[in-house]
Amino acid sequence: MVQRGDELAAEAKLIAVEYILEAGKLEKDGRPPKWAVPLAEQCLSQLYDGYAKLAAKHGRFIERKEGDTVIVAPRREEQRKYLSADEYLQRKHVELVEAAIEATRSPVVPDGMEQDRGLFSEHQKVQWGEDSDAFYFAAVQQVLSQWGEKIEEDDGALFVQAVLGHIESTRGSVLVDTWRLLGEICSESKKTGKRVVTMRVFLEKQFLSFIKRTVSETPHAQVLSGLPNVIEQVSVFCSIKQRGADVETVDGVPQWMVLFYLVRCGKWAESVEYTHEIDVKDGDKALAAQVREYCTAQAHPSGETRKGLCLEYERRKLLSRQDPFKLALLKIVGRCDIEKKTMNEILPATEDYLWLQTHLAVEGDEEYSFADLQETVRSQSSSSFGGQDSALLHFQALCMCRLFDEAFGSLGDGYRVHGVHFGIALLLGGCLDGKAQQRASDNLFGYGESRVQYGREKEALFYGLVGCRALAGCVERLGDILLGTKSTSGWFGAYRAGGVFEGGYLSQYVGVFGEDGERVLESLAGYCAEKKKEGGERREALRLYDRARKYTTAFSALSDFLSVDIRSPFSEEHSEETISLAISLFEFYTQTASISELLPQESVSTAQMLIRLYQFVREANRGEWESALELLSGVGVIPLTRGEAAQCSEVLGLLPECVMQTSSVLVDCAIRCIDGVYRSMPLAYRGSPETGELSEKTMALVIFATQIPFTISEDVFQKLNALSTMLGC
């Protein structure tokens, strides 16, 4: 079955339009960018060629029609009735341009806020994924290395600058503009009275960039040699915008339009200068003077002056012909007709609407305050902002109005990485509180924990450090991140060969925690130590207690740790690490006067005893039977003579529980040592005094074992009986 020609045409048109829309924008005159046309041609050509082959196979061509519909028809002799491929492409290109323009038109929403396809931003599509992670992490690393011990108010602005340094040359300006806005907000976070001004300044800088970009893309820019001033740039911009506009001109120059856009750019000094230069009629000199006074004082007139301006505004509205830019200037200067908050004819885009509000709204004003503006923006959904980056534009508007909780809620899952870092900037800038602060901190630490899951532990640590810098009392959240890594204690440092302590990553960034950073680091280590102890990871707990300077707790943990290791399966590598750590800590604690005086003597004796017992077990497992028995005889826990065995009941009552728990392992090792020594003797020496010594040791073990039957395992009892039988005890 042959596909209908109009269906193929529609498919071609849709795909080609997507090529253009994917690119991000139309040119200022409403036509597709030049580079998009070859892509569209290629797409349409390929689809047409495919259709032509299909149609030829079935003896059909595309029929020429007056309208837009193209259908499949039988082959006829009058070939002139049919479109050639070139004609088909030409027609479809017209349809393509019309469809693209129509698709990018911005319908006005009920309250006058218009959808924005990027009049001020290039709207290059923001890319999400691993590269976003990379450039953000680079910024995090940069600020961590720059932060000193003193927590500064400009930490947020510093982070924003670091991010912008990594993304300005590689990302679309919607994302860049969002970061620039956050920079403005962080700089003014402590000045609540500056909220409207901060919002206005950002929108004016954004619009000035748009003007400069527009001028640079036009032939007029070639005329402007050197470094043109703002007035010249705005004049060129107005000559472009003026086409078809019903505005007053003097010698072809739309003076009021130029003055309005100078105000729109926030160029107050240039606006004042221009009011002196323009040639105005007598009736407009008063308006020029009012604009000049407003730009000089950067404040609205009050009382009778404002009342007169509002009356003049109402009068001019009734005139059949009136330059809309004059009306706009009058409305802005006098805050006229506040009930009408839009001027769609000359301020069509979302950014325009928001900028106008910054001139109409006044902090604490009864007529129209910043709180009223907040309610207006809060009521809008992201669809009101149009375009492929509508969520970012909506986020910008909410942030400008300091609706941070709503701003974070407006970003979907696709913007998660960006949302986390937006939150970091605002947290560091001290801009958030309440729910917004909680949401941003949850996002930040949750993102850090996700880095651990992907095996990117260093990133996880750094994000946790940023969180602690931004929010006091978040040490445990950083601790939870560290507890998920392979070696929690390694971040704090580790003991190397010779018992030398080497600081870890956290030691390098102790200044991030502020002037009291060392104490915070100790608290963090203590929190992690408790969690490791609860999880049965005694070695990690020991190291962390030591880093937390909880020396008495660490010494107690040292004994528990050795006791457990004695009872664990033997590993040569593991045992060497264990005894090295134990001896290093023991010597450091007992030889440092400020620490040793804190340690109970009983704890010191217990630790010393367990170190010797651990060395005994290690030698026994290595097959060093005689040296092992020599170590055991000097400890005084396991009797090796009948005299010692007779007194073992008294000794047993004095032994700490952690030592008693090792009894079965110690007896087992002693049995293997005695057996090993006996079997290593030449046959001629068996029955000699040396054998008698082994029998003495064996009998001592038997007496000891009968004193603690519930501590010694059945397997050890069987080995002991076999040994005593072999030695004839």
* pLDDT tier at 625, thresholds 50, 70, 90: very high
Position 299 pLDDT exceeds 70: yes
pLDDT band for 225, please (50, 70, 90 cuts): very low
Task: For residues 111-126, give the mean pLDDT.
Answer: 43
pLDDT digits (tens, 9 = 90+) for 160-216: 999 998 886 655 578 888 998 998 888 875 555 678 888 899 999 989 988 988 888
Q: What is the mean pLDDT of residues 443-452?
A: 92
Confidence of residue 606 (pLDDT cuts 50, 70, 90): very high
Confidence (pLDDT) at 150: 62
Mean of the pLDDT values across residues 625-648? 87
Q: Tell me: pLDDT of 407 over 50.
A: yes
Q: What is the structure's pLDDT at 116?
A: 40
- Tell me the mean pLDDT in the region 642-651: 80
What does the pLDDT look like over 541-585, one tens digit per residue? 888 998 888 988 988 888 988 998 898 887 777 778 888 888 888
Q: How confident is the model at residue 101 (pLDDT cuts 50, 70, 90)?
A: very low
Sketch the domain layout of the chain as residue ranges.
5-103, 200-360
Q: Which of 407-416, 496-505, 588-597 has the highest mean pLDDT?
A: 588-597
**Share of the chain residues as helix, strand and coil, in percent rounded to the nearest 5:** 70, 0, 30
Task: Quote the tokens at residue 2.
Answer: 């042959």
Per-residue pLDDT, averaged over 283-294, amounts to 87
| pLDDT band, residue 628 (cuts 50/70/90) | very high
Rounded mean pLDDT, 614-632:
93
Residue 34 pLDDT more than 70? no
Identify whether the C-beta of residue 82 lies closer than 8 Å to the C-beta of residue 351.
Answer: no
For the stretch 675-704, pLDDT in tens is 999 888 887 666 666 678 888 899 989 888
- Percentage of the chain surpassing pLDDT 90? 26
Report field, pTM of the whole predicted structure over 0.85: no
CA 703 remoteness from chain centre: 67
* CB-CB contact of 75 with 60 (8 Å): yes
Contacts (Cβ under 8 Å, ≥6 apart) of 24: 118, 122, 123, 124, 125, 172, 388
Question: Among 80-94, 410-424, 500-514, 609-623, which is the least confidently predicted range?
Answer: 80-94
Which range is most confident: 35-39, 193-197, 590-594? 590-594
CA distance 241 to 249: 13
- Give the DSSP per-residue string, 627-681: HHHHHHHTTSSS--SHHHHHTHHHHHTTS-HHHHTTHHHHHHHHHHHHHHHHHHS
Query: For 137-149, what is the mean pLDDT?
Result: 85
- pLDDT value for 527: 94
Nearest C-alpha neighbor of 414 from the set 175, 177, 126, 169: 126
Residue 193 CB-half CA count within 13 A: 0
Give yes or no for a contact between 404 and 426, defined as CB atoms under 8 angstroms apart. yes
| Top-confidence residue, 56 or 539 | 539
What distances in angstroms separate CA 594 from CA 366, 549, 552, 586, 589, one per listed residue?
A: 67, 12, 12, 14, 9
- Pick the closest to residue 488 from 437, 525, 455 (CA basis): 525
pLDDT of residue 243: 67
What residue has token string 């009011």?
275
The SS3 call for residue 583 is helix
pLDDT score for 102: 42
